[in-house]
Chain A
Amino acid sequence: MNERTLKMARLAMMLALATSIHALEALTPVTLGWFRFGFANIIGLATLIIFGFRDAFYVTVGRIFVGGLLSGSLGTPSFFLALSGGVVSIVFMGAANLIKRRYLSEIGISVIGAVAHNMAQLFAAYLLIVRNDSILTLAPIMILTATATGFINGMATHYLVLSLRKQWRLGQEPGHTSSRS
């Protein structure tokens, strides 16, 4: 198989994984209303680290569109919330990814992405739905929960990237910190 086809197949697999996680997460009952772990972002971040920003952007946006189709929320406010959050977070994570891995690992990138995601969603919710300044009182809580979930997702991403690189025989990234175990 040539290199292009291989990459396309791998990206398609990432998109399928991300979409199914996204759709499953939309189905899980949440007690806190707006609280989600954002596990689908693990796939987006792994794609970003392995394939680079452009492919990660496609995977994230594609995931949101196909996930919206699957969960039937395409075109609803919750779809636009997810879209704004996804786009902003992947842009922020792409920028954070430019920093050397020695200084900022997956966990840091994931935390930045998660907070950016939540803030974008809060802003979109303000523009689209609520239109009341009181929604700002949610911001600190959202940043704190985003930091926590970003931390968890970052750890998961780290192990996913390790195992994917091994599986796909891509070799370890130079300057990677955690090959000791």
Chain B
Amino acid sequence: MRAFFFTRSRKIESVMALLVIGDIIAIFVMIGIAVGLFFLTPWFLKSRVSGIEIMSGSQTVGRFSLESNRILDVRGILGNTQIRIKDGKASVVSSPCSNKYCIHMGHIGESGGILVCVPNEIIVYSVKKTEDGLDAVSR
């Protein structure tokens, strides 16, 4: 296998021979950490998103849990933006703005995120669990 790859240059053939025990350990430890983090990070991020907070202009409209399905009407400067919470995901379903970017932004799920409607000045973002164990307030 090695002879197949490095038939042309004898200089490069010794590259694999450069590796000593510590290098191999270091490389495998790094790959192990990467794989471990790959599976650990989503779980870590997921476990901390508890709900969404909605802002209209500079005012906080409120904090909502992602657990109950509902449709929220939030008043912005152009009109009402409808935000739907369904199956643990929040998304904008209708908006008075012209470009509808906020609708195309998708949803906020367990991994968190942010939805913004600039013309109507509505911001929806995920909130994390707080220290005191209260995760969200339902209204």
Please state if B18 and A107 are interface contacts (CB–CB under 8 Å): yes
Please state if B44 and A181 are interface contacts (CB–CB under 8 Å): no
- Complexed CA–CA distance, A155 and B15 (Å): 7
Q: How many A-B residue pairs have CB under 8 A?
A: 85
For chain A residues 115-157, which have a beta carbon within 8 Å of chain B?
115, 133-134, 136-137, 139-141, 143-144, 146-147, 151, 154-155
Known: A115-B30, A147-B30. A140 touches B20 (CB 8 A): no
> For this complex, into which size category does the number of interface residues on chain A fall?
20 to 34
Shortest Cβ distance from B2 into chain A, in angstroms?
15
> Which B residue's beta carbon lies closest to that of A151?
B27
Query: CB of A36 within 8 A of chain B?
Result: no
Q: Which residues of B sit under 8 angstroms from A105, Cβ to Cβ?
A: 18-20, 22-23
> Which B residue's beta carbon lies closest to that of A179?
B14
> Which B residue's beta carbon lies closest to that of A158?
B18
Q: Which residues of A sit under 8 angstroms from B31, Cβ to Cβ?
A: 143-144, 147
Shortest Cβ distance from A119 into chain B, in angstroms?
10
Known: A103-B21, A108-B20, A178-B14. A133 touches B30 (CB 8 A): no
Among B17, B23, B38, the most chain A Cβ lie within 10 Å of the Cβ of B23
Query: CB of A111 within 8 A of chain B?
Result: yes
The total of chain B residues at the interface (CB under 8 A) is 30
> Which A residue's beta carbon lies closest to that of B38?
A140
B87-130: CB near A (< 8 Å → 1, else 0) gives 00000000000000000000000011100000000000000100
Q: Which residues of B sit under 8 angstroms from A102, Cβ to Cβ?
A: 20
Query: CB of A177 within 8 A of chain B?
Result: yes
For chain A residues 83-122, which have a beta carbon within 8 Å of chain B?
99, 101-108, 111-112, 115
Known: A146-B30, A178-B18. A108 touches B41 (CB 8 A): no
Please state if A177 and B26 are interface contacts (CB–CB under 8 Å): no
Shortest Cβ distance from B31 into chain A, in angstroms?
6
- CB within 8 A of A104: which of B26, B48, B128? B26
Known: A111-B30, A136-B44. A143 touches B18 (CB 8 A): no
Please state if B23 and A104 are interface contacts (CB–CB under 8 Å): yes
Q: A139-B37, A140-B41, A177-B17 are in contact. List 11 more A-B contacts (CB 8 A).
A: A107-B23, A111-B26, A111-B27, A134-B45, A134-B111, A136-B45, A146-B30, A147-B27, A151-B27, A158-B18, A181-B10
Which B residues lie at the A interface, using CB under 8 A?
A: 10-11, 14-15, 17-23, 25-27, 30-31, 33-35, 37-38, 41-42, 44-45, 48, 111-113, 128
Which A residues lie at the B interface, using CB under 8 A?
A: 99, 101-108, 111-112, 115, 133-134, 136-137, 139-141, 143-144, 146-147, 151, 154-155, 158, 177-178, 180-181
